Amino acid sequence: MRKFKDNFMLGLLWFSAFLTVAVLVVIVGYIFFKGFRLINFDFIFGDYSPVGHGGIWPMIITTIYTIVISLIIATPIGILAAVYLQEYAKQGRLVRVIRFATESLTGIPSIIYGLFGAVFFVTTLKLGMSIIAASLTLTIIVLPVIIRTTEEALKTVPLSYREGSLALGTTKLQTLYKVILPSAMPGILSGIILSMGRIVGESAAIFLTAGTVAAMPESIFSSARTLTVHSYLVTQESGDIELAAAVGIVLIVIILVLNLSATFISKKLNKADY
Amino acid sequence: MSATTLERNNKGTEKFSSNNEQQTTDAKIKVKNLDLFYGEKQALYQVSLDIKEKEVTALIGPSGCGKSTFLRTLNRMNDLIDGVKINGEIVIDNENIYNSSDVIKLRTRVGMVFQKPNLFPMSIFDNVAYGPRMQGIKNKKALNKIVEESLRGAAIWDEVKDRLKSSALGLSGGQQQRVCIARAIAMKPDVILMDEPTSALDPISTLKVEELIAQMKKDYTIVIVTHNMQQAARVSDKTAFFLNGEIIEYDETDHIFSMPKDQRTEDYVTGRFG
Amino acid sequence: MPSPSNENQIVDMKKSNKLKYFFESASEKLFLICAMLSVISLLLIIGFVFYKGSHPFVAEGYSFIDFIFGMEWVPSEDKFGILPMIVASIFSTIGALVIGVPIGLFTAIFLAEIAPKRVAKIISPAVQLLAGIPSVLYGVFGLAIIVPMLQNNFGLAKGQSLLAVIIVLAIMMLPTIVTVAETAIRAVPKTYREGSLALGASPIGTIFKVVVPAAKSGIMAAIVLGLGRAIGETMAVILVAGNSLILPTSLTDSVRPLTTNIALEMGYAFGTHQEMLFATGIVLFSFILILNFVLAKISSKGGK
């Protein structure tokens, strides 16, 4: 009886794993199968046109804009915030409040960020539906990611480095940028790359703050659509699954490249000679 | 507090006053009635000790007796720990180091070598030049000179002069520790604190470091914490025996090892406990 | 002998460190401000969403009860009831959990305990990668494959339904649950397993009676993360939900969960209508807080 039960559970484990892998393979396979015919030079680097399948260069540029702007803002703030929490703050109520806030930000769904961005950046700050409004919203979304990964990276820097440096009559600031941050850099970098992935994959918050204009953005104050929003809209409005899948391929490749480089960098961290 | 500990305290204070009479006024470091608390827990009790210039003073005692804690008060490394409180005074060169707020200046005058070699993940040259650079010395020639002199001073120049630009972490443990000493010397301190500097080293490297200490004492005042009684006997002029956060006995090293006044000192140096 | 010039240089530098101490305290303050920005952001988000969302009830005389329990959402007729959406959100989330959690957990157990090393080394990173794929693509897949499949198999007029939402969400939370739970199970010390095996328990019995309970808090975290992904998902859900404003009574009904209501109407809503979308956001927000709280309670109870 026990043997039967064990075998049954074992079968269930195999089955579940098979199911998971199968489903995920089917999804990725389907996207590739459905979309690969559209992928060519003109599709990726061409300008958008409403007839046919259109190029997606404007969406790629918009996506890059959102990544660059939000990271330019979120990276320094996130790193310095993590530095404060790990290196400066005395454990106490203030730190608990900051940590609680950071964790809570992680749990907020992106549609709520979208609502906030729409009323605060778009309306109150009068930025309008624009790349900049979306990027500022994304800044808040990735801030906790950068803070957390940087904190983890700082934790791996041995205390003895800090002591060794301070004992030489350096200031905390000097110790920070000469010894601590360089040692933590691989971890921080892979955190930043993960945030890029988060930004690329984001849709709801961007949908409500950047709008849906399908054209090359004139400036960061223009409304525009990112790759994910494009993929959503062509499915929703025209049911063009083939086009959505082709955009999907581009998205998956971007995510793949980002993940591989994050893995590569953190592997380097482990191999680094200290 | 029980009667026995009270008695012990009385005895201790008596001894210190007699010690103080022996000391001449040219003491480099004067410690008077030093109490130290980690939060609620008291780690040092009424420690008083005068350290003469250009002598080697060894601090011995069982683990957790407070000798390392005491050493780290001399360059205020305990400031890094939250919740450390100090009463009493430490005077170095007629200046109470806990009254002066310039802890950077203090640490440039009082260097430190740690238990485990803690070189930074940089080249040997950059490690030794680190302290002077942080003090604003940028002149290449001056830095070259400081690095060479410091490495010579730490008796490691010949071993590393051909690989100054390679990673310091490729050196053996014993070599690393001597580069750590060079790094401390590069600041041209008056006092060098050593916190069990050979505990992570093999016997041959230990011997080299001990020889180095003997040479260095003509230029520096050295305070060394050690677990190793033979080491204390070999390298030091004076020895202080710590037990449970108090100094039980402080005297010429020869006296401590050949005719200790206190039974507990005798028990410890003869290896009956610890 | 140290040359006098060097000596002087260092002595000079040791003279005054006033500037350094100024930079020390200034930088610490700057870092504190950066750290406070996440608190400020959170307060701003809560403040704006709650201010906007509570306005109709506080200042315009709408009844909050009618809002929560109202069956009809017709903004043009000033009717704002979101009960169907609340029910749709709850059903789709619970449904996704019921399917996604066991499969995800079993997969995680398989990868951590049963799978040959080489197999796990290929599958685990692949699953991890899939956790990062934009959720929209799951929606596209759902619309292209799952919706027609349901339509044909159940003879529905329209395949976009509660069931489609549940399946898409369950698939979407799989990578998250598998990745986090696998890490938790792998972290259980070997000695636990050895102890149990030494007592004569079977390998499978050991996994379920010893290893999984020991990894409970990590598994709980996996479920909470997967749940968060499911309940907050918007764009993928719009594509497969059908978005009808009826109270779902069966799995094949077309539904409109809370998130999709916001995304669908935010583009053109203004005035009270827009504020009601923020109120919908508040409900979603509270929903997530409550669920996280409940799960935290369960896991802390289980831990004892």
Fold of C69-303: MetI-like fold (1.10.3720)
The residue extents of the domains of chain C are 4-61, 69-303
Chain-wide mean pLDDT for chain B? 86
Q: In which element (H, E) is residue A6 found?
A: helix A2-35
Identify all chain A residues contacting C127, using CB atoms and an 8 Å cutoff: 20-21, 24
Number of H helices and number of E strands within chain C? 15, 2
Both A172 and A146 in one domain: the answer is: yes
Under the banding of pLDDT at 50, 70 and 90, the label for residue C300 is low
Alpha helices in B46-192 (DSSP H): 67-73, 103-109, 124-134, 140-153, 157-160, 173-185
Distance between start and end Cα atoms, chain C: 68
pLDDT at residue A270 in the model: 59
Identify all chain B residues contacting C6, using CB atoms and an 8 Å cutoff: 142, 145-146, 149, 188
The domain that holds A82 is classified in CATH as 1.10.3720.10
Q: Which of A151-165, A200-214, A253-267, C43-57 has the lowest mean pLDDT?
A: A253-267
pLDDT at residue B20 in the model: 41
Contact A251 C125 (CB under 8 A): no
Distance from CA of C25 to the nearest CA of B (A): 13
Q: Which of A6, A111, A197 sits opposite C204 (nearest CB)?
A: A6
For B54, how many CA atoms within 13 A lie in the half-sphere containing its CB? Answer: 4
Q: What are the tokens at C227?
A: 């749940």
Mean pLDDT on A191-218: 92
pLDDT at residue C288 in the model: 83
Mutation target for A interface from B80, B115, B166, B191: give the one with most A CBs within 10 A: B80
Interface predicted TM-score (ipTM): 0.90
Both A124 and A174 in one domain: the answer is: yes
pLDDT digits (tens, 9 = 90+) for C141-156: 999 999 999 999 888 8
Identify all chain C residues contacting A5, using CB atoms and an 8 Å cutoff: 204
Which has the closest alpha carbon to B123: B160, B91, B68? B160
**HEC secondary structure over C8-49:** HHHHHHHHCCHHHHHHHHHHHHHHHHHHHHHHHHHHHHHHHH
Mean pLDDT on A170-174: 92
CA angle A102, A104, A108 (to 5 degrees): 120
Q: Would an 8 Å CB–CB cutoff place B109 in contact with chain C?
A: yes
Q: Would an 8 Å CB–CB cutoff place A174 in contact with chain B?
A: yes
Contact C32 A115 (CB under 8 A): no
Q: In which element (H, E) is residue A164 found?
A: helix A159-166
Q: Which of C37, C52, C263 sits opposite A119 (nearest CB)?
A: C52
Domains in chain A: how many in total?
A: 2
Percent of chain B with pLDDT over 90: 65
Identify all chain B residues contacting A182, using CB atoms and an 8 Å cutoff: 121
Contact C228 A88 (CB under 8 A): no
Q: Would an 8 Å CB–CB cutoff place A1 in contact with chain B?
A: no
Contact C38 A144 (CB under 8 A): yes
Mean pLDDT on C56-80: 91
E strands in chain B = 27-38, 41-52, 56-60, 84-92, 95-96, 110-113, 191-195, 221-225, 238-243, 246-252
Distance from CA of C282 to the nearest CA of B (A): 41
Q: Would an 8 Å CB–CB cutoff place B106 in contact with chain C?
A: no
Q: What are the tokens at B44?
A: 């040092």
The residue extents of the domains of chain B are 53-74+99-269
pLDDT digits (tens, 9 = 90+) for A153-165: 999 999 999 999 9
Asked if B52 contacts B233 with a C-beta cutoff of 8 angstroms, the reply is no
Both A32 and A157 in one domain: the answer is: no
pLDDT of C7 > 70? The answer is no
Contact B104 C2 (CB under 8 A): no
pLDDT digits (tens, 9 = 90+) for B60-111: 999 889 999 999 999 999 888 888 899 999 999 888 898 877 888 899 999 9
Domain with A145 in it: 41-273
Distance from CA of C233 to the nearest CA of A (A): 7
pLDDT digits (tens, 9 = 90+) for B185-224: 999 999 999 999 998 889 999 999 999 999 998 999 999 9
Both A12 and A90 in one domain: the answer is: no
Q: Would an 8 Å CB–CB cutoff place A170 in contact with chain B?
A: yes
Q: Would an 8 Å CB–CB cutoff place C25 in contact with chain B?
A: no
Fold of B53-74+99-269: Rossmann fold (3.40.50)
